[in-house]
Structure 1
Amino acid sequence: MRPILWVPLLLFAALVMALTIGLFLKPREIPSAMIAQPVPAFDLPPLWMSGEGLQSSDLAKGEAVLLNVFASWCAPCRIEHPFLMELADEGIPLYGLNYKDKPEDALAFLGELGNPYRRIGADRDGRVGIDFGVYGVPETYVINGQGQIAYKHIGPILPQNQDQLRQAIKKAAQESPANEKASE
Protein backbone atom coordinates (compact mmCIF):
# COMPACT_ATOMS: atom_id res chain seq x y z
CA MET A 1 0.00 0.00 0.00
CA ARG A 2 1.28 3.45 -0.86
CA PRO A 3 2.15 5.89 2.00
CA ILE A 4 0.07 8.65 0.39
CA LEU A 5 -3.08 6.63 1.08
CA TRP A 6 -2.37 6.72 4.83
CA VAL A 7 -2.48 10.53 5.04
CA PRO A 8 -6.30 10.87 4.96
CA LEU A 9 -6.67 8.06 7.47
CA LEU A 10 -4.14 9.68 9.86
CA LEU A 11 -5.84 13.08 9.50
CA PHE A 12 -9.22 11.52 10.26
CA ALA A 13 -7.81 9.71 13.33
CA ALA A 14 -6.27 12.98 14.61
CA LEU A 15 -9.60 14.79 14.16
CA VAL A 16 -11.52 12.07 16.03
CA MET A 17 -8.99 12.21 18.87
CA ALA A 18 -9.22 16.02 19.12
CA LEU A 19 -13.02 15.95 19.18
CA THR A 20 -13.03 13.19 21.81
CA ILE A 21 -10.73 15.23 24.07
CA GLY A 22 -12.97 18.27 23.56
CA LEU A 23 -15.98 16.35 24.88
CA PHE A 24 -14.32 16.03 28.28
CA LEU A 25 -13.25 19.65 28.69
CA LYS A 26 -15.22 21.99 30.95
CA PRO A 27 -16.17 25.09 28.95
CA ARG A 28 -17.21 27.05 32.07
CA GLU A 29 -13.69 26.75 33.46
CA ILE A 30 -12.08 29.28 31.17
CA PRO A 31 -8.93 30.59 32.82
CA SER A 32 -8.89 34.33 33.36
CA ALA A 33 -5.77 36.42 32.90
CA MET A 34 -7.29 38.81 35.47
CA ILE A 35 -6.92 36.47 38.47
CA ALA A 36 -4.58 38.04 41.07
CA GLN A 37 -4.60 41.30 39.09
CA PRO A 38 -6.02 44.59 40.39
CA VAL A 39 -9.47 45.49 39.15
CA PRO A 40 -9.30 47.77 36.13
CA ALA A 41 -9.66 51.47 36.89
CA PHE A 42 -13.16 52.75 36.15
CA ASP A 43 -15.73 55.33 37.17
CA LEU A 44 -19.27 54.49 36.08
CA PRO A 45 -22.40 56.62 36.37
CA PRO A 46 -25.37 55.40 38.40
CA LEU A 47 -28.45 53.79 36.89
CA TRP A 48 -30.72 56.51 38.23
CA MET A 49 -30.18 60.21 38.79
CA SER A 50 -30.31 60.12 42.60
CA GLY A 51 -28.18 56.97 42.93
CA GLU A 52 -24.45 56.57 43.39
CA GLY A 53 -22.32 55.23 40.57
CA LEU A 54 -19.58 52.67 40.92
CA GLN A 55 -15.83 53.21 40.93
CA SER A 56 -12.96 50.78 41.08
CA SER A 57 -12.04 52.24 44.50
CA ASP A 58 -15.41 50.97 45.85
CA LEU A 59 -14.11 47.43 45.34
CA ALA A 60 -10.88 47.88 47.34
CA LYS A 61 -11.91 48.97 50.80
CA GLY A 62 -10.26 46.24 52.83
CA GLU A 63 -12.94 43.56 52.61
CA ALA A 64 -13.83 40.84 50.12
CA VAL A 65 -16.63 41.85 47.76
CA LEU A 66 -18.54 40.46 44.80
CA LEU A 67 -18.98 42.23 41.50
CA ASN A 68 -21.87 40.82 39.48
CA VAL A 69 -22.21 41.68 35.79
CA PHE A 70 -25.90 41.60 34.86
CA ALA A 71 -28.48 42.94 32.42
CA SER A 72 -32.27 43.01 32.28
CA TRP A 73 -32.24 41.26 28.89
CA CYS A 74 -30.21 38.35 30.32
CA ALA A 75 -32.42 35.32 31.06
CA PRO A 76 -29.74 33.49 33.12
CA CYS A 77 -29.45 36.61 35.31
CA ARG A 78 -32.99 35.92 36.50
CA ILE A 79 -32.00 32.38 37.44
CA GLU A 80 -29.12 33.44 39.72
CA HIS A 81 -30.86 36.50 41.19
CA PRO A 82 -32.46 34.74 44.21
CA PHE A 83 -29.02 33.50 45.25
CA LEU A 84 -27.61 37.03 44.97
CA MET A 85 -30.46 38.26 47.19
CA GLU A 86 -29.55 35.53 49.69
CA LEU A 87 -25.88 36.60 49.70
CA ALA A 88 -26.87 40.24 50.24
CA ASP A 89 -29.16 39.22 53.13
CA GLU A 90 -26.15 37.44 54.68
CA GLY A 91 -24.22 40.74 54.57
CA ILE A 92 -21.84 39.86 51.75
CA PRO A 93 -20.91 43.12 49.98
CA LEU A 94 -22.32 42.86 46.46
CA TYR A 95 -21.86 45.43 43.70
CA GLY A 96 -23.51 45.44 40.30
CA LEU A 97 -22.20 46.24 36.86
CA ASN A 98 -25.18 46.77 34.58
CA TYR A 99 -23.88 45.73 31.17
CA LYS A 100 -25.08 47.27 27.89
CA ASP A 101 -28.58 47.87 29.23
CA LYS A 102 -31.15 50.64 29.20
CA PRO A 103 -31.40 52.21 32.66
CA GLU A 104 -35.20 52.03 32.70
CA ASP A 105 -35.10 48.30 31.85
CA ALA A 106 -32.50 47.61 34.54
CA LEU A 107 -34.56 49.51 37.12
CA ALA A 108 -37.68 47.53 36.15
CA PHE A 109 -35.67 44.28 36.48
CA LEU A 110 -34.49 45.24 39.98
CA GLY A 111 -37.95 46.51 40.93
CA GLU A 112 -39.44 43.14 40.05
CA LEU A 113 -36.76 40.87 41.57
CA GLY A 114 -35.25 43.04 44.31
CA ASN A 115 -31.96 44.91 44.53
CA PRO A 116 -29.12 43.00 46.23
CA TYR A 117 -26.46 45.56 45.25
CA ARG A 118 -24.88 48.22 47.46
CA ARG A 119 -24.03 50.24 44.34
CA ILE A 120 -24.58 49.76 40.64
CA GLY A 121 -22.56 51.20 37.80
CA ALA A 122 -24.12 51.59 34.37
CA ASP A 123 -21.71 50.23 31.75
CA ARG A 124 -23.84 51.33 28.81
CA ASP A 125 -21.20 50.93 26.11
CA GLY A 126 -19.55 47.82 27.62
CA ARG A 127 -16.07 49.39 27.96
CA VAL A 128 -15.60 48.39 31.60
CA GLY A 129 -16.83 44.89 30.79
CA ILE A 130 -14.15 44.64 28.11
CA ASP A 131 -11.52 45.76 30.64
CA PHE A 132 -12.64 42.97 32.99
CA GLY A 133 -12.61 40.40 30.18
CA VAL A 134 -16.35 39.78 30.28
CA TYR A 135 -17.40 37.00 27.88
CA GLY A 136 -21.11 37.56 28.45
CA VAL A 137 -23.63 38.00 31.20
CA PRO A 138 -23.93 36.98 33.91
CA GLU A 139 -20.42 36.87 35.29
CA THR A 140 -19.40 37.23 38.91
CA TYR A 141 -16.04 38.29 40.30
CA VAL A 142 -14.77 37.77 43.83
CA ILE A 143 -12.45 40.64 44.74
CA ASN A 144 -10.23 40.60 47.81
CA GLY A 145 -9.71 43.57 50.14
CA GLN A 146 -6.69 44.79 48.19
CA GLY A 147 -8.85 45.17 45.10
CA GLN A 148 -7.47 42.13 43.29
CA ILE A 149 -9.63 39.68 41.38
CA ALA A 150 -9.50 36.42 43.31
CA TYR A 151 -12.06 34.37 41.38
CA LYS A 152 -14.22 34.62 38.27
CA HIS A 153 -17.44 32.72 37.68
CA ILE A 154 -18.78 32.65 34.13
CA GLY A 155 -22.50 32.08 33.64
CA PRO A 156 -25.31 31.92 36.15
CA ILE A 157 -24.57 30.84 39.70
CA LEU A 158 -26.50 27.58 39.93
CA PRO A 159 -27.07 25.37 43.01
CA GLN A 160 -24.25 23.04 41.94
CA ASN A 161 -21.65 25.85 41.97
CA GLN A 162 -22.86 27.97 44.90
CA ASP A 163 -20.51 26.19 47.33
CA GLN A 164 -17.53 26.88 45.06
CA LEU A 165 -18.41 30.58 45.01
CA ARG A 166 -18.86 30.65 48.78
CA GLN A 167 -15.42 29.05 49.22
CA ALA A 168 -13.89 31.69 46.95
CA ILE A 169 -15.54 34.45 49.01
CA LYS A 170 -14.28 32.89 52.25
CA LYS A 171 -10.73 32.58 50.89
CA ALA A 172 -10.72 36.19 49.60
CA ALA A 173 -12.04 37.40 52.97
CA GLN A 174 -9.17 35.63 54.75
CA GLU A 175 -6.70 37.41 52.46
CA SER A 176 -8.25 40.84 53.10
CA PRO A 177 -6.58 43.46 55.35
CA ALA A 178 -9.72 43.87 57.49
CA ASN A 179 -9.53 40.18 58.41
CA GLU A 180 -5.77 40.29 58.99
CA LYS A 181 -6.15 43.15 61.50
CA ALA A 182 -8.95 41.31 63.32
CA SER A 183 -6.83 38.18 63.71
CA GLU A 184 -3.83 40.07 65.22
Structure 2
Amino acid sequence: MAKSWRFLIPLIIFGALVILLVIGLGKDPRKVPSPLIGKPIPEFSLPELTDTGRTLVDDDLRGQISLVNVWASWCSSCRQEHQALMVLSENPDFQIVGLNWKDDAQDALSVLRMTGNPYDRIGYDPDNDVGIEWGVYGAPETFVVDQQGIIRYKHIGPVDRKVWEETLQPLIAQLKAEG
Protein backbone atom coordinates (compact mmCIF):
# COMPACT_ATOMS: atom_id res chain seq x y z
CA MET A 1 0.00 0.00 0.00
CA ALA A 2 2.83 2.45 0.87
CA LYS A 3 4.44 1.90 -2.54
CA SER A 4 1.25 2.87 -4.39
CA TRP A 5 1.12 6.21 -2.54
CA ARG A 6 4.65 6.97 -3.61
CA PHE A 7 3.56 6.93 -7.24
CA LEU A 8 0.60 9.24 -6.55
CA ILE A 9 2.69 12.00 -4.95
CA PRO A 10 4.08 13.34 -8.28
CA LEU A 11 0.56 13.23 -9.75
CA ILE A 12 -0.83 15.22 -6.78
CA ILE A 13 1.97 17.78 -7.05
CA PHE A 14 1.38 18.11 -10.81
CA GLY A 15 -2.36 18.60 -10.22
CA ALA A 16 -1.69 21.32 -7.64
CA LEU A 17 0.65 23.13 -10.05
CA VAL A 18 -1.96 22.98 -12.82
CA ILE A 19 -4.57 24.49 -10.48
CA LEU A 20 -2.19 27.32 -9.52
CA LEU A 21 -1.40 27.97 -13.18
CA VAL A 22 -5.08 28.17 -14.11
CA ILE A 23 -5.75 30.59 -11.23
CA GLY A 24 -2.76 32.74 -12.24
CA LEU A 25 -3.82 32.88 -15.89
CA GLY A 26 -7.20 34.23 -14.84
CA LYS A 27 -5.66 37.28 -13.14
CA ASP A 28 -5.21 40.63 -14.89
CA PRO A 29 -1.50 41.64 -14.70
CA ARG A 30 -2.53 45.31 -14.83
CA LYS A 31 -4.27 44.97 -11.49
CA VAL A 32 -1.24 44.46 -9.30
CA PRO A 33 -2.28 46.03 -6.00
CA SER A 34 -0.05 48.77 -4.68
CA PRO A 35 0.59 48.89 -0.94
CA LEU A 36 0.97 52.68 -1.30
CA ILE A 37 -2.68 53.39 -2.17
CA GLY A 38 -4.09 55.64 0.54
CA LYS A 39 -0.64 56.49 1.89
CA PRO A 40 1.51 59.63 1.55
CA ILE A 41 3.95 59.76 -1.32
CA PRO A 42 7.46 58.66 -0.38
CA GLU A 43 9.97 61.43 0.28
CA PHE A 44 12.24 61.92 -2.71
CA SER A 45 14.57 64.34 -4.42
CA LEU A 46 15.60 63.97 -8.06
CA PRO A 47 17.37 66.19 -10.56
CA GLU A 48 15.05 67.44 -13.28
CA LEU A 49 15.60 65.84 -16.66
CA THR A 50 15.15 69.05 -18.66
CA ASP A 51 17.05 71.30 -16.22
CA THR A 52 19.59 69.47 -14.06
CA GLY A 53 20.09 72.66 -12.04
CA ARG A 54 16.58 72.19 -10.62
CA THR A 55 15.35 69.47 -8.30
CA LEU A 56 11.98 67.70 -8.18
CA VAL A 57 10.95 66.83 -4.62
CA ASP A 58 7.93 65.23 -2.99
CA ASP A 59 6.57 68.63 -1.90
CA ASP A 60 6.14 69.51 -5.60
CA LEU A 61 3.30 66.97 -5.66
CA ARG A 62 1.32 68.64 -2.88
CA GLY A 63 -1.22 71.42 -3.29
CA GLN A 64 -2.68 70.17 -6.56
CA ILE A 65 -3.76 66.92 -8.16
CA SER A 66 -0.87 65.18 -9.93
CA LEU A 67 -0.58 62.39 -12.46
CA VAL A 68 2.86 60.88 -11.93
CA ASN A 69 3.79 59.03 -15.10
CA VAL A 70 6.72 56.58 -15.11
CA TRP A 71 8.27 56.40 -18.57
CA ALA A 72 11.47 55.73 -20.51
CA SER A 73 12.73 56.33 -24.03
CA TRP A 74 13.28 52.59 -24.58
CA CYS A 75 9.68 51.76 -23.59
CA SER A 76 7.44 51.09 -26.62
CA SER A 77 4.27 51.22 -24.50
CA CYS A 78 5.34 54.64 -23.24
CA ARG A 79 5.52 55.87 -26.81
CA GLN A 80 2.09 54.35 -27.39
CA GLU A 81 0.58 56.45 -24.57
CA HIS A 82 2.53 59.63 -25.37
CA GLN A 83 -0.12 61.23 -27.60
CA ALA A 84 -2.79 60.68 -24.94
CA LEU A 85 -0.54 62.43 -22.40
CA MET A 86 -0.04 65.32 -24.82
CA VAL A 87 -3.83 65.77 -24.97
CA LEU A 88 -4.17 65.45 -21.18
CA SER A 89 -1.44 68.04 -20.63
CA GLU A 90 -3.90 70.72 -21.80
CA ASN A 91 -6.22 69.98 -18.85
CA PRO A 92 -5.80 72.61 -16.08
CA ASP A 93 -7.28 70.35 -13.35
CA PHE A 94 -4.00 68.56 -12.66
CA GLN A 95 -0.30 68.58 -13.36
CA ILE A 96 1.50 65.77 -15.15
CA VAL A 97 4.82 64.92 -13.53
CA GLY A 98 7.15 62.55 -15.31
CA LEU A 99 9.44 60.05 -13.68
CA ASN A 100 12.04 59.17 -16.29
CA TRP A 101 12.97 55.69 -15.15
CA LYS A 102 16.10 53.60 -15.80
CA ASP A 103 16.92 55.67 -18.85
CA ASP A 104 19.69 57.57 -20.54
CA ALA A 105 19.08 61.32 -20.21
CA GLN A 106 20.11 62.14 -23.78
CA ASP A 107 17.84 59.43 -25.22
CA ALA A 108 14.92 60.71 -23.11
CA LEU A 109 15.51 64.32 -24.15
CA SER A 110 15.69 63.25 -27.79
CA VAL A 111 12.29 61.54 -27.53
CA LEU A 112 10.78 64.66 -25.98
CA ARG A 113 12.24 66.86 -28.74
CA MET A 114 10.73 64.60 -31.41
CA THR A 115 7.32 63.94 -29.84
CA GLY A 116 6.64 66.89 -27.55
CA ASN A 117 6.75 67.25 -23.79
CA PRO A 118 3.48 66.66 -21.93
CA TYR A 119 5.10 67.00 -18.49
CA ASP A 120 5.06 70.00 -16.17
CA ARG A 121 8.14 68.60 -14.42
CA ILE A 122 10.26 65.49 -14.98
CA GLY A 123 12.38 63.78 -12.35
CA TYR A 124 15.35 61.81 -13.65
CA ASP A 125 15.75 58.40 -11.93
CA PRO A 126 18.36 56.42 -13.90
CA ASP A 127 19.24 54.13 -11.00
CA ASN A 128 15.64 53.35 -9.93
CA ASP A 129 16.19 54.84 -6.47
CA VAL A 130 12.81 56.59 -6.40
CA GLY A 131 11.12 53.94 -8.52
CA ILE A 132 11.81 51.37 -5.81
CA GLU A 133 10.24 53.62 -3.16
CA TRP A 134 7.13 54.05 -5.33
CA GLY A 135 6.88 50.31 -6.00
CA VAL A 136 7.39 50.66 -9.75
CA TYR A 137 7.31 47.32 -11.56
CA GLY A 138 7.82 48.62 -15.08
CA ALA A 139 6.98 51.36 -17.50
CA PRO A 140 4.57 52.88 -18.12
CA GLU A 141 2.84 53.25 -14.80
CA THR A 142 0.74 56.22 -13.73
CA PHE A 143 -0.11 57.26 -10.18
CA VAL A 144 -2.85 59.69 -9.18
CA VAL A 145 -1.76 61.82 -6.22
CA ASP A 146 -4.29 64.05 -4.47
CA GLN A 147 -3.75 67.61 -3.24
CA GLN A 148 -2.49 66.40 0.15
CA GLY A 149 0.16 64.15 -1.40
CA ILE A 150 -1.75 60.88 -0.90
CA ILE A 151 -1.48 58.22 -3.60
CA ARG A 152 -5.05 57.46 -4.61
CA TYR A 153 -4.62 55.18 -7.63
CA LYS A 154 -2.01 53.30 -9.65
CA HIS A 155 -2.48 52.32 -13.29
CA ILE A 156 -0.11 49.81 -14.86
CA GLY A 157 0.26 50.05 -18.63
CA PRO A 158 -0.44 52.81 -21.14
CA VAL A 159 -2.99 55.50 -20.41
CA ASP A 160 -5.40 55.70 -23.32
CA ARG A 161 -8.80 57.24 -23.96
CA LYS A 162 -10.66 54.35 -22.29
CA VAL A 163 -8.50 54.51 -19.14
CA TRP A 164 -8.95 58.27 -19.04
CA GLU A 165 -12.73 58.23 -19.49
CA GLU A 166 -13.53 55.23 -17.29
CA THR A 167 -11.02 55.59 -14.48
CA LEU A 168 -8.81 58.67 -14.30
CA GLN A 169 -11.29 61.40 -15.24
CA PRO A 170 -13.95 60.33 -12.68
CA LEU A 171 -11.30 60.02 -9.95
CA ILE A 172 -9.83 63.44 -10.73
CA ALA A 173 -13.32 64.97 -10.74
CA GLN A 174 -13.95 63.40 -7.33
CA LEU A 175 -10.63 64.68 -5.95
CA LYS A 176 -11.28 68.15 -7.34
CA ALA A 177 -14.74 68.21 -5.70
CA GLU A 178 -13.23 67.13 -2.39
CA GLY A 179 -10.84 70.05 -2.73
- RMSD, matched Cα: 1.9
Aligned to 2:112: 110
Secondary structure of 2:67's counterpart equals strand
Compared CA separation, residues 21 and 148, structure 1 to 2 (3 A): same
Compared CA separation, residues 13 and 100, structure 1 to 2 (3 A): closer
Secondary structure of 2:89's counterpart equals helix
Counterpart amino acid of residue 147 in structure 2: G
Aligned to 1:10: 12
Alpha-carbon offset, residue 65 of structure 1:
1.2
Does the 8 A contact of 2:69 with 2:98 survive in 1?
Answer: yes
Counterpart amino acid of residue 122 in structure 1: Y
Does the 8 A contact of 2:50 with 2:122 survive in 1?
Answer: no
Is there any run of 5+ residues in structure 2 with no aligned partner, and where? none
Aligned to 1:69: 70
Q: 1:152 aligns with which of 146, 151, 154?
A: 154
Does the 8 A contact of 2:71 with 2:141 survive in 1?
Answer: yes
CA distance in 1, matches of 2:10, 2:104: 53
- TM-score, normalised via structure 2 length: 0.88
CA distance in 1, matches of 2:126, 2:5: 59
CA distance in 2, matches of 1:102, 1:32: 27
Alpha-carbon offset, residue 51 of structure 1:
6.8
Aligned to 1:88: 89
After superposition, the C-alpha distances for 1:131-184 in whole angstroms (9 at most, x for unaligned) are: 111111111100011101000111212444332222332333334xxx2xxxxx
After superposition, the C-alpha distances for 1:32-91 in whole angstroms (9 at most, x for unaligned) are: 011111111112112234774311101011x22111111111111100011111111122
CA distance in 2, matches of 1:12, 1:48: 53
Counterpart amino acid of residue 106 in structure 1: A
Does the 8 A contact of 1:47 with 1:53 survive in 2?
Answer: no
CA distance in 2, matches of 1:143, 1:164: 14
Alpha-carbon offset, residue 109 of structure 1:
0.9
- Which 4+ residue blocks in structure 1 deviate beyond 6 angstroms? none
Give the count of matched residue pairs. Answer: 175
Aligned to 1:22: 24
CA distance in 1, matches of 2:13, 2:121: 54
Aligned to 1:128: 130
Aligned to 1:42: 44
Compared CA separation, residues 49 and 6, structure 1 to 2 (3 A): closer
Secondary structure of 1:89's counterpart equals coil
CA distance in 2, matches of 1:17, 1:113: 46
Aligned residues with identical type, % of pairs: 46
Is there any run of 5+ residues in structure 1 with no aligned partner, and where? 180-184
Aligned to 2:144: 142
Secondary structure of 2:33's counterpart equals coil
Alpha-carbon offset, residue 13 of structure 1:
2.0
